[in-house]
Chain A
Amino acid sequence: MSAKLDTYRNAAAVRNRLLTYVSLALLAIFLYIADAFGTEYEIRILINCAIFIALAVSYNLINGVTGQFSLAPNAFAAVGAYTSALLTMSPLEKQLSFIIEPVIWPLSVIHTPFLVSLIIAGLVTAFMGFLMGFPVFRVRGDYLAIVTLGFGEVVRVIANNTQSITNGPLGLKGIANHTDIAWSWGFAVFTVFFVVRLVRSSYGLALKAIRYDESAAEAVGIDAFWHKMFAFILSAFFGGIGGGLLAHLITTISPNLFTFFLTFNLLIIIVLGGLGSTTGAVIAAVAVTIGSELLRFFEEPMNIGGIHIPGIPGMRMVIFSFLLVILMIYARRGLMGTDEFSWQRAIDFLRRYKKGNPE
């Protein structure tokens, strides 16, 4: 009996794996076609989707899965963006950019390929997350939120003032445009797989246990501090690389690019998707990125039946902030709650649907 069950389980596992590979292949084909035939604008939106998937999924790891309400992803993205940009810019470009004060020594000569720069950016950001973790995880709940928010602000202030490292308020210009469909989606898929595997592992269970009840988790022998730290460092690592990709997409970065505004966008995404659900974060990242393009409609002047309505710039953010409040009042679970997509569920759902009694 047990052998039969095992065979059944193995067959299901093989089937699930096949389905995953097939859908990845379909995604790759879709992206390839989009890359070849899409307009520049459409490709740009697709790249944005991928970066926001990666940022949202890694942000959700600490906020949703572990339940530690960090507001620091803008700090991570900023550090990652600056680190990678300073590494990919050639010494000559840096010399030309830093007009007020010359760039300090090691940075003035270092010049690394894109991949190396991204990985270093991730590691530097992860190290910063490690250092931040000590004061941050001394507190909980809303204090944690405000301390991490403070770090975001501190990073911005430092970026504005360390003229010889970040070029101050002038920012960095002329960063090579390396981020394309392959880089961004490659990173997004890698992040999603990594986080999904992590959440399913024993570490993931421990992180979830901390979310539900930290004292109980400690009582069964989970070292809450180091587990939270672990999730925070990983979140910082992926956030840093995401910031690096963003920098090489926009090609111009300045301290004001990484304000609380970026955190707010990511917060909307993970709340809409359902705090704690990786699936939700992916769906919502795509929905919010595309939705925010569609909502541009509201900001442009339009003519309806001869009546001219002037565009209202800024209306999109009003809608998004309103959406966040409405979600919290009426749909706290978001799209997915803490549920995850699995092939088994999808198949079960389809079967029920075929029988004509969908639940």
Chain B
Amino acid sequence: MIDTASLIQQLINGLSLGCLYGLIAIGYTMVYGILRLINFAHGDVMMVGCYFAFYGILMFSLPWWASFPTAIVLTAMLGVLIDRGAYRPVRNAPRISALITAIGVSFLLENLGLVIFGGRPKAFYRPEIFSGIHIFGEVRILDLHIWTGILAVVIFFAIYQIIYRTRMGRAMRCIAHDMETTRLMGVDLNRIIAYTFAIGSAAAAAGGIMWAMRYPQINPLMGILPGLKAFVAAVLGGIGNVSGAMLGGLLLGLIEILLVAARPDLAGYRDALAFGILILILLFRPTGLLGERLPE
């Protein structure tokens, strides 16, 4: 059985992993809420964000506090660029065409990553400030875990404020509700959608950089699995709902870590767990925990 100390330890690990899933899931849920598009490339956008941060330090000798925010801004721009170049042209096409486009963009990013960055994993720099360890009895807390939590809370509340307190956020909610009517009201859809991609991609980049420091290495295919799991988190929380995405992410992180802690012999099945959860939600509660909208 697990004793209290290791239970607390696992809870902390799970919550910090869950924060990362949540940060990535926000981008999925915002794009899906507005465009009804599963942005397959979202995990790969996160991967590119990590490489931006990596090269910012390595090639441009930026200190981490300059390189990381720059990478986040660049990733936001990449998200907008992908929307402009690939998704906008298929916006009025059947939804499956948009999905196929997203799969194509995802593979394009992965393979461009392999060609440009190389397939070999690269060690990611973990700044001093994130490296400390606090020991309370038997529980060890990494500074990285604390910062991950703070970052997730700050980003989540910032995005929440944008969506529910600003004109742009109101426009986003309107588009999610009824795109045609919103357009008739004189809202510039493409601009709002571009902002949505920018915000989602920025959150993913922030999550990705924390992810890269956690495992400290990056490779061009690193975005696939976190991307898929974050999507499951978004569905778990109720897709289209930002609070749901964060909640789903935290739950998924906790379930994953606790399963591995309770049954180490099943650790190999960890990556299949998310899909098991996905199937169960779709069977029993397709709207997710906080969602109201039914999947198509």
Contact = CB atoms under 8 A, between A and B. Distances in A.
Interface of A: 67, 69, 135, 138-143, 145-147, 149-151, 153-154, 157-158, 160-161, 260, 264, 267, 271, 312-315, 317-318, 320-322, 324-325, 328-329, 332
20 contacts: A67-B96, A69-B96, A138-B283, A139-B286, A141-B96, A141-B296, A142-B38, A142-B296, A143-B296, A145-B99, A146-B278, A150-B232, A150-B279, A264-B107, A271-B100, A320-B107, A321-B107, A322-B104, A328-B101, A329-B90
A168 to B, nearest CB: 9
Interface of A is mostly: helix
Interface residues of B, number: 43
Contacts of A154: 272, 275-276
A328 B278 contact: no
Contacts of B296: 139-143
A150 B101 contact: no
Nearest to B109: A321
Contacts of A264: 103, 107
A324 B282 contact: no
Contact of B282 (A138, A145, A157): A138
A135 B105 CA distance: 28
Contacts of A157: 268-269, 271-272
A317 B104 contact: no
Query: Which 6 A-B pairs have CB atoms at the shortest separation, nearest pair first?
Result: A150-B275, A324-B104, A321-B107, A321-B108, A157-B272, A325-B104
A153 B86 CA distance: 26
Interface stretch (B54-62, B110-118, B143-151, B188-196): B110-118
B181 interface: no
Contacts, number: 114
A143 B282 contact: yes
Contacts of B115: 312-315, 318
Nearest to B265: A161
A158 B266 CA distance: 11
Interface in B88-131: 89-90, 93, 95-101, 103-105, 107-108, 110-112, 114-115, 119
A143 B105 CA distance: 19
Interface in B255-296: 268-269, 271-272, 274-276, 278-279, 282-283, 286, 295-296
B283 A135 contact: yes
B272 A153 contact: yes
Given A138-B283, A154-B276, A325 B108 contact: yes
A6 B228 CA distance: 57
Nearest to A149: B228
Given A143-B296, A161-B269, A324 B278 contact: no
A272 to B, nearest CB: 11
A265 to B, nearest CB: 10
A284 to B, nearest CB: 14
B93 A328 contact: yes
B231 interface: yes
Nearest to A141: B296
Contacts of B274: 150
Contacts of B95: 141-142
Nearest to B266: A161
Contact of A321 (B104, B278, B279): B104
